[in-house]
Structure 1
């Protein structure tokens, strides 16, 4: 399954339905029908190859659309600041997962062996 790591508390906010936009500088290669596992981890993974073995699977979502991030998106993204040039990933079809499923977290979109 394809996965995306999101730094705590962002993953939990997605799983709770409070964070409906994920904001990144890049667009994923996903269709609106592709499932994406959200893995919450405790630190930013800044360099290619960075991983965190202590990730937690928190939800499965779909990325309905990708568009420019605008200041009016701050609440939906649970963001603390706004900067031009970022992309808003509109999350849909939220399926929260029961707690306790540890997985590695990695940069960008990556593959994991996971069945919800």
Structure 2
């Protein structure tokens, strides 16, 4: 049976670091339209997708929940988030990480997008 998931693409190796519970914040220049985001599919890809319509092959690695988003603070810079701090960004708090038993090849796209998949094994 097919199910629709909301997905977020993340450049390698950060997707794997989220899947392993190492990376607990995702830093973005924008906020999601609504919270919480439950069962958000993390798709790891190779390149930053900076233009509307950009997409490339990726690998779905985990399901997560984004419970909250706050202004990114300078004291949150670290190996699990970023190598430097800049004002005006948002920290997405990642929780309830569920590693997929089998990574799945899917397309990586910009922002939050919809993807139809068979029921995932976690």
Q: Does 1:37 align with 2:60?
A: no
Residue 35 of structure 1, CA deviation: 1.5
Gaps of 5+ in 1: none
Distance 2:40 2:20 in 1: 16
Distance 2:49 2:41 in 1: 17
Gaps of 5+ in 2: none
1:46 equivalent among 47, 50, 59: 50
Normalised to the residue count of structure 1, the TM-score between the two structures is 0.92
Query: Which residue does the alignment assign to 1:12?
Result: 16
The structure in which a higher percent of residues are strand is 2
Distance 1:66 1:76 in 2: 19
Give matches, 1:91-102, under 5 Å: 91-102=94-105
Distance 1:79 1:102 in 2: 26
Distance 1:99 1:82 in 2: 34
CA-based RMSD: 1.4
Query: Which residue does the alignment assign to 1:60?
Result: 63
Q: Does the 8 Å contact 1:20/1:76 carry over to 2?
A: no
Deviates more, 1:12-21 or 1:75-84: 75-84
Structure 1 stretches of 4+ moved >6 Å: none
Q: Does the 8 Å contact 1:5/1:105 carry over to 2?
A: yes
Q: Does the 8 Å contact 1:11/1:38 carry over to 2?
A: yes
Distance 1:101 1:73 in 2: 31
The structure having more radius of gyration, on CA atoms, is 2
Normalised to the residue count of structure 2, the TM-score between the two structures is 0.88
